[in-house]
Structure 1
């Protein structure tokens, strides 16, 4: 993201002595490209993460073109094999907590995390991520994305504080306000009983949940999904005529699956691509397959490449498979067997798909013998 700072605001008063405070900059390289830079100072970081189950930043606001968005950043923790909290690395989450706008519209959200190296006084930044959202007035929390981040001694200043940075850019779509996809997105968001004729069952932690939909769109977008529609009568709503049983799929995944069916878009594609790709192949949605492949190709890292390879092979996605193998050829980290020697994902691949594992090893210029007994015992 651009690094031209043009305006700085005062640091907000801390909400909690542990949580710390958020300060902000505006980066404005040109009038149409405002980048909000928020810096969250977490007081006594190591003490805070050892005592608390989660840490949330004070809320902050980003306003663009009459749309006011409210955000926070949260620190969450992985759990080890013993079920106990792992305090390093931590998981940084960017959350949209509210939107105030008079008009609904599509927007691309670009964001980037960073952590301050107090020794050399320099920001260590992650790669830039992006997602497309349907911005409409709301007050519920929506997770936009997350990054796993290691916090080391160099990140603590003399007061044992750690500074976390988040850059956010909100780019409104040039799509016409009342285009077909925009109108369909509004219909889906309203979940209207007046126009819906289909109930979709999906899984959730509280048991099965239902979503309302339209059989015409389902049939026109996917013949395979259309054949799964069952005749159904709802005593409370006479308009409901069909039921679609997707109770084996989590509620949030079904929501994004439906969003694609209605609008050709997925919110937070990086988070859902690996879950939507098998569904796209199963129900014959080649456009969704291509979207998921593009997203996964841009997210390949030494850590994710084995899982992406397995997924590509399982789903028969040759473009994604080739991209992952090419990455193995080009990545020095993978070539050095750092991840093959230590990653459980590579060992799983060797067990469940040995042919694919050998092909990956050939791309790396390695062999399965690199997985020696020493590595397995670690």
Structure 2
């Protein structure tokens, strides 16, 4: 689960376009996710009058570097040239940067909109971009998403809340740290450090990975006992073989990346495949990383699959969060009761006890939603 730190109260500028409040989400040490919430006041009225909207500027500071951002709303135009008020175009813009050292950084961002009817954040897909960060005051558009705004998104005060989550991962961050040094060793597969060949399923003729047996044994004793003595006729330094041939190349690559660096690239893509491996090979840090990713990506469509996964591999925190999500989300009721979802029917067949437990959670739906593990409460708003 993410560690959430509430930022200090700030005096916010009350503008026609609303205000921005913030919260910090710290998935693991040295990685910070900035969560900014833009409350657009009297939404329908202001959208009808304006040709564009820009949020107040906000700052994200990490590792001695300060970046400045805003979120803007733009509108599509129809064939007649008139503004289309819905759906909106949400844009994330870099408005400035202050840094002592220039360099590349990967920026991950995600938009969300508050469903006021069931008090839950609806999120768009996560996007990534590589930026050259240097001292500048010039505006740079990072990316955009098209977003429909419906009656359920407008609260009793006629406001709409938009969230953007921003994570800045500097390429040179902790460049002399152990994880960074080991990442370079893994990437280069340096002969002097590698004594183990890792076999996996390949599709495009990829070469087997070459790794260090000491790291494998230290990080996962269960993987360590799977090492087989082996002589490679092409490389006299290779002494062991690790047979993971039932796993795809991409999954093995991310598993090894975690073993070397405590990190995974594109966790949202691989979490459902890495979670079973994390429990099988006793990598609790990877389990927590996958649980957090699956929790953040939970939707009415994928919650039955997440429930099955959590139950099968003994991930109790994720299981409880998924059941709580079932209890708190109105959209799930129709999928289960009317038999619309294939995923729910599969769950009923393969794990009827879990299906009944989920149905009981849905049937005992509570109106107290603020503490739902799958949603963000009003507590971080300023």
| Category of TM-score, reference length = shorter chain | 0.5 to 0.7
Match of 1:67 in 2: 103
Per-residue CA distance 1:8-32 (angstroms, 9 max, x = gap)? xxxxxxxxxxxxxxxxx99553671
Structure 1 residues 169 and 279: CA distance shift in structure 2, 3 A: closer
CA distance in 2, matches of 1:321, 1:202: 30
Structure 1 residues 193 and 128: CA distance shift in structure 2, 3 A: farther
- Could you tell me whether the CA contact under 8 Å between 2:37 and 2:163 is conserved in 1? no
CA distance in 1, matches of 2:126, 2:292: 23
- Could you tell me whether the CA contact under 8 Å between 2:344 and 2:355 is conserved in 1? yes
Please give the TM-score of this superposition, normalised by the length of structure 1.
Answer: 0.58
Match of 2:281 in 1: 283
Find the residue that maps to 1:115 and give its secondary structure. Answer: strand
Please give the TM-score of this superposition, normalised by the length of structure 2.
Answer: 0.58
CA distance in 2, matches of 1:253, 1:301: 23
Tell me whether 1:183 sits opposite 2:181 in the alignment. Answer: yes
Match of 1:318 in 2: 316
CA distance in 1, matches of 2:231, 2:172: 41
Structure 1 residues 222 and 3: CA distance shift in structure 2, 3 A: closer
Structure 1 residues 128 and 37: CA distance shift in structure 2, 3 A: closer
Structure 1 residues 350 and 127: CA distance shift in structure 2, 3 A: farther
CA distance in 1, matches of 2:286, 2:182: 17
- Could you tell me whether the CA contact under 8 Å between 1:209 and 1:251 is conserved in 2? no
Find the residue that maps to 1:252 and give its secondary structure. Answer: helix
Q: What value does the CA root-mean-square deviation take over the aligned residues?
A: 4.3
Structure 1 residues 337 and 221: CA distance shift in structure 2, 3 A: same
CA apart distance, 1:343: 1.5
Per-residue CA distance 1:106-145 (angstroms, 9 max, x = gap)? xxxxx9852166999x9x999756xxxxxxxxxxxxxxxx
CA apart distance, 1:212: 1.1
Match of 2:30 in 1: none
Could you tell me which of 353, 356, 360 is aligned with 1:355?
353
Match of 1:33 in 2: 67
Match of 2:252 in 1: 254
Could you tell me which of 145, 148, 153 is aligned with 1:114?
145
Per-residue CA distance 1:283-328 (angstroms, 9 max, x = gap)? 1112211221222222222111100000011111111111111111
CA distance in 2, matches of 1:339, 1:307: 17
Match of 1:341 in 2: 339
Match of 1:364 in 2: 362
CA distance in 2, matches of 1:274, 1:340: 27
Find the residue that maps to 2:231 and give its secondary structure. Answer: coil
Number of positions where the alignment pairs a residue of Structure 1 with one of Structure 2? 268
- Could you tell me whether the CA contact under 8 Å between 1:202 and 1:251 is conserved in 2? yes
Could you tell me which of 282, 300, 303 is aligned with 1:302?
300
Q: Which has the higher contact order (CA 8 A, sep 6+)?
A: 2
* Residues 119-198 of structure 1: pairs in structure 2 closer than 5 A: 128=164, 170-172=168-170, 176-198=174-196
Per-residue CA distance 1:140-184 (angstroms, 9 max, x = gap)? xxxxxxxxxxxxxxxxxxxxxxxxxxxx65254996431212211
- Could you tell me whether the CA contact under 8 Å between 2:336 and 2:344 is conserved in 1? no
CA apart distance, 1:202: 1.3
- Could you tell me whether the CA contact under 8 Å between 1:201 and 1:208 is conserved in 2? no
CA apart distance, 1:215: 0.2
CA apart distance, 1:358: 1.1
- Deviating beyond 6 angstroms after TM superposition, the runs of 4 or more aligned structure 1 residues are 36-45, 98-101, 124-127
* Residues 210-221 of structure 1: pairs in structure 2 closer than 5 A: 210-221=208-219
Per-residue CA distance 1:236-274 (angstroms, 9 max, x = gap)? 221111111111111111111111111212222222211
